[in-house]
């Protein structure tokens, strides 16, 4: 006679949307995003390099900014989620409804992933605008010097500028940044399932972020030591997601590589989500 | 079938490393019948909120078992027909009244026009129709309590668990909440109410249980419990002075004792409500 209540994607979606709305309406988020957009826009105003150097600089600078500001938004957005729910006891009102703890946790996580995605979208559009702006400046400069250059050389230069500005591999780079940030968000979520302090959550995740990027260097230097290897097993290799160098050098990034790295991120994310669920479902709230 | 049943329900909170455990609730056997209003009373820290949280599966039980409409409380399905108002509720500050109810309604599987209609009716019911599009960050304590009630009622549950529903609410607001509980009872709902404000509980509850230090120390029907079987009071009107002497004489002659002769006092609450009612500017329109 008793009704069964299965896992519901609708409830997960409702909680995700609520989490997203809640974050988007906070001042902290706006300030961070606006600051990031201003920084990205400023990339097109540096002009002390040569031709192709300038476009390379814009790409390098903007991809770096996307990664760092995206990480800040992912960490800050996720770190305060569970502590706020527990402190305001809003979690009681949710879990007193026919809602599973797993649905709650997944909804919270997807909400912050949405926040990261939307932020990346805005930052990405600004990145595109910065590139476009720089491209047109460079083309204008090239045309201004048109008299002193042979026609075919000018054509070549223009072609080179356009090709470099409209590099489709940039999209691959942004996609991998997104996968990396989603992984970073789940690390933050996992930490916040056993701590109650937002400061602790942020501190630990920032350390993981830094360690994840320095992982390659660390393996080379101290890979022999056992405790370093144990630590490295926990910390994901975040530098694997970094393809900015290839993009700047103009190397083609094969989709196979993108897929492999994205899969690595996805598997890591699912494992950490499962761990977070394991801890959270046992937790006294 | 009982709305709520517990058997030897026990909760020990772990206090952290090397500080042992705190026995918050000890072997509670509670039965709340369908359709009744049950008041769980007790001083602060006696285990009232813990009882509600155990029943809802929000905290894990140490021993014993609990059922809601015969469904074990660790199954999600046990919460299908329950509405819960936590103690001192706080909601999402950045949502408006309507958005808050939409959120909780969707969690209960409600959608579309039916949900919107329900939300309008609820906001009317709890007197928040005019504050519907304001964010909860700007709500007063009493308003938060009322949006909390609306949230608990959104899916029209058969059972309501209310933890201190009138705490921090002014007398008018708390009378409204009391009237609302009585109306819910008339609609056939079951209510489990926690409070330490005894006067209010007396008016609405059919049965009460008193908890102290995690143990049920007294339980029963409210009217029976508070009736003083050995005493009797008359309330008479327009009795002249010599009439009073004759009545007292008659009581003594019949073998009784006169304990007190006094003018009945109105409660401060009814005085307060009366004064407001007489004020020509009218009562405060609820927000
Ligand atoms: N999460 C918790 N951790 C440790 N002790 C708790 C916790 N929650 C409640 N207690 C303790 O359990 C006892 C009962 O608390 P509670 O059920 O909130 O009482 P009431 O609602 O009757 O005021 C109190 O002594 C309280 O300090
Ligand atoms: Mg309490």
Quick: pLDDT tens for B9-51: 999 998 877 888 999 999 999 999 999 999 999 888 999 999 9
pLDDT band at B265 (very low <50, low <70, confident <90, very high): confident
pLDDT band at A2 (very low <50, low <70, confident <90, very high): low
- Range scoring the smallest mean pLDDT among A159-168, B118-127, B179-188, B277-286: B277-286
A90, B91: Cβ pair inside 8 Å?
A: yes
With contacts defined as CB-CB under 8 Å, which chain B residues touch A20?
none
Residue whose entry in the numeric block shows the structure tokens 């029943």: B55
Q: Read out DSSP for chain A?
A: --------HHHHHHHHHHHHHHHHTSHHHHHHHHHHHHHHHHGGG---S-HHHHHHHHHHHHHHHHHHHHHHHHHHHHHTHHHHHHHTTHHHHHHTSS--HHHHHHHHHHHHHHHHHHHHHHHHHHHHHHHHHHHHHHHHHHHHTGGGS-HHHHHHHHHHHHHHHT-THHHHHHHHHHHHHHHHHHHHHHHHHH---HHHHHHHHHHHHHHHHHHHHHHHHHTTSHHHHHHHHHS--GGGG--HHHHHHT----HHHHHHHHHHHHHHHHHHHHHHHHHHHH---
Among protein residues, the one whose CA lies closest to atom 27 of ligand 1: B45
pLDDT: which is higher, A73 or B240: A73
Q: What is the mean pLDDT of residues A149-172?
A: 85
- On the question of pLDDT at A1 being above 60, the answer is no
- On the question of pLDDT at A70 being above 90, the answer is yes
- On the question of pLDDT at B268 being above 90, the answer is no
Ligand positioned closest to the Cα atom of B54:
1
Q: What residues are in contact with ligand 1 under a 6 Å CB criterion?
A: B 13, 15, 22, 24, 42, 44-50
With contacts defined as CB-CB under 8 Å, which chain A residues touch B151?
93
Among B19, B39, B48, B50, name the best residue to mutate to test ligand 1's pocket (greatest count of ligand atoms within 8 A of Cβ): B50
pLDDT: which is higher, B33 or B274: B33
How much is the pLDDT for B283? 59
How much is the pLDDT for A155? 87
pLDDT band at A116 (very low <50, low <70, confident <90, very high): very high
How much is the pLDDT for B285? 53
DSSP label at residue B211 = E
- On the question of pLDDT at B284 being above 60, the answer is no
B108, A97: Cβ pair inside 8 Å?
A: yes
Q: What is the mean pLDDT of residues B222-245?
A: 82
How much is the pLDDT for A267? 95
Output the CA B137–ligand 1 centroid distance in Å. 27
Using a CB–CB cutoff of 8 Å, tell me whether B138 touches chain A. no
Please count the other Cβ atoms lying within 10 Å of the Cβ belonging to residue A193: 18
Distance from CA of B118 to the nearest CA of A (A): 17
pLDDT: which is higher, B29 or B256: B29
- On the question of pLDDT at A18 being above 90, the answer is yes
CA distance A204 to A215: 16
Q: Which residues of B230-267 are buried (b: 16+ CB within 10 A; e: fewer)?
A: eeeeeeeeeeeeeeeeeeeeeeeeeeeeeeeeeeeeee
pLDDT: which is higher, B191 or A239: B191
- On the question of pLDDT at B133 being above 80, the answer is yes
pLDDT digits (tens, 9 = 90+) for B138-150: 998 889 999 999 9
Complex-level ipTM beyond the 0.90 threshold: no
Among B1, B52, B76, which would you mutate to test the A interface (most chain A Cβ atoms within 10 Å of its Cβ)?
A: B76
Query: What dihedral angle (degrees, nearest 10) is formed by the CA atoms of B220, B223, B228, B234?
Result: 180
Size of interface A-B (CB pairs under 8 A): 88
Q: What is the mean pLDDT of residues A247-272?
A: 90
Output the CA A100–ligand 2 centroid distance in Å. 24
- On the question of pLDDT at A206 being above 90, the answer is no
pLDDT digits (tens, 9 = 90+) for A40-64: 999 888 766 666 688 888 889 999 9
- On the question of pLDDT at A180 being above 90, the answer is yes
- Closest partner residue to A93 among B57, B59, B151, by Cβ? B151
Q: What is the mean pLDDT of residues A224-249?
A: 78
How much is the pLDDT for A51? 66
Among B22, B41, B210, name the best residue to mutate to test ligand 1's pocket (greatest count of ligand atoms within 8 A of Cβ): B22
Bridging pattern class, strands B207-212 and B215-221: antiparallel
The pLDDT mean for chain B works out to 89
pLDDT: which is higher, B174 or A186: A186
pLDDT band at A160 (very low <50, low <70, confident <90, very high): confident
CA nearest B90 in A: which residue? A88
- On the question of pLDDT at B252 being above 60, the answer is yes
CA distance B221 to A283: 38
- Range scoring the smallest mean pLDDT among B46-60, B153-167, B223-237: B223-237
| Nearest partner of B35 among B161, B158, B204, B153, judged by Cα | B158
How much is the pLDDT for B287? 56
- On the question of pLDDT at A234 being above 80, the answer is no
B86, A93: Cβ pair inside 8 Å?
A: yes
């Amino acid at each position: 006679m008793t009704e069964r209540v299965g896992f519901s994607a609708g409830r997960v979606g409702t909680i995700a949307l609520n989490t997203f709305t809640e974050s988007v309406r906070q001042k902290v988020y706006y300030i961070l995003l606006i600051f990031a957009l201003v920084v990205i826009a400023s990339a097109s105003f540096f002009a002390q390099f040569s031709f192709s150097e300038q476009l390379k600089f814009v790409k390098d600078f903007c991809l770096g900014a996307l990664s760092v500001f995206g990480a800040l938004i992912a960490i800050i957005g996720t770190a305060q989620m569970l502590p706020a729910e527990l402190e305001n006891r809003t979690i009681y009102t949710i879990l007193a409804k026919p809602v599973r703890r797993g649905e709650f946790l997944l909804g919270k996580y997807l909400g912050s992933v949405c926040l990261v995605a939307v932020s990346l979208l805005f930052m990405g559009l600004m990145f595109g605008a910065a590139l476009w702006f720089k491209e047109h400046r460079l083309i204008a400069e090239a045309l201004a010097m048109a008299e002193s250059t042979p026609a075919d050389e000018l054509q070549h230069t223009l072609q080179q500028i356009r090709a470099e500005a409209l590099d489709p591999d940039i999209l691959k780079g942004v996609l991998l940044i997104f996968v990396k940030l989603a992984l970073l968000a789940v690390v933050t979520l996992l930490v916040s399932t056993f701590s109650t302090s937002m400061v602790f959550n942020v501190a630990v995740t920032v350390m993981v972020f830094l360690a994840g990027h320095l992982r390659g260097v660390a393996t080379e230097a101290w890979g022999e030591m056992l405790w370093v290897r144990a630590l490295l097993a926990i910390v994901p290799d975040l530098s694997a997601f970094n393809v900015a160098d290839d993009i700047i050098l103009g190397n083609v990034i094969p989709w196979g590589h993108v897929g492999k790295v994205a899969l690595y991120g996805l598997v890591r994310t699912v494992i950490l989500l499962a761990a977070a669920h394991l801890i959270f479902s046992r937790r006294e709230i | 079938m009982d709305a709520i049943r517990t058997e030897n329900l026990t909760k020990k909170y772990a206090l952290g490393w090397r500080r042992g455990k705190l026995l918050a609730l000890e072997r509670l056997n509670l039965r709340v019948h369908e359709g009744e209003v049950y008041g769980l009373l007790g001083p602060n820290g006696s285990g009232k909120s813990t009882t509600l949280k155990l029943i809802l599966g929000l905290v894990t039980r140490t021993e014993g078992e609990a059922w809601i409409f015969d469904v074990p409380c660790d199954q999600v399905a046990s919460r299908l027909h329950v509405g819960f108002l936590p103690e001192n509720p706080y909601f999402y500050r950045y949502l408006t009244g309507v958005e808050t109810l939409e959120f909780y309604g969707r969690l209960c599987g409600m959608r579309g026009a039916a949900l919107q209609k329900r939300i309008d009716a609820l906001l009317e019911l709890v007197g928040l129709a005019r504050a519907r599009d304001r964010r909860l960050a700007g709500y007063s304590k009493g308003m938060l309590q009322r949006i909390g009630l609306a949230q608990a009622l959104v899916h029209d549950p058969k059972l309501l668990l209310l933890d201190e529903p009138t705490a921090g609410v002014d007398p008018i607001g708390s009378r409204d909440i009391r009237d609302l509980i009585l109306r819910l009872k008339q609609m056939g709902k079951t209510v489990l109410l926690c409070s330490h404000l005894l006067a209010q509980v007396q008016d609405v509850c059919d049965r009460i249980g008193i908890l102290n230090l995690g143990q049920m120390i007294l339980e029963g029907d409210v009217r029976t419990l508070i009736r003083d079987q050995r005493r009797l009071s008359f309330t008479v009107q327009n009795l002249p002075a010599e009439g009073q002497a004759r009545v007292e004489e008659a009581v003594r002659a019949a073998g009784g004792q006169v304990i007190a002769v006094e003018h009945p006092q109105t409660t401060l609450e009814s005085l307060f409500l009366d004064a407001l009612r007489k004020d020509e500017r009218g009562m405060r329109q609820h927000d």
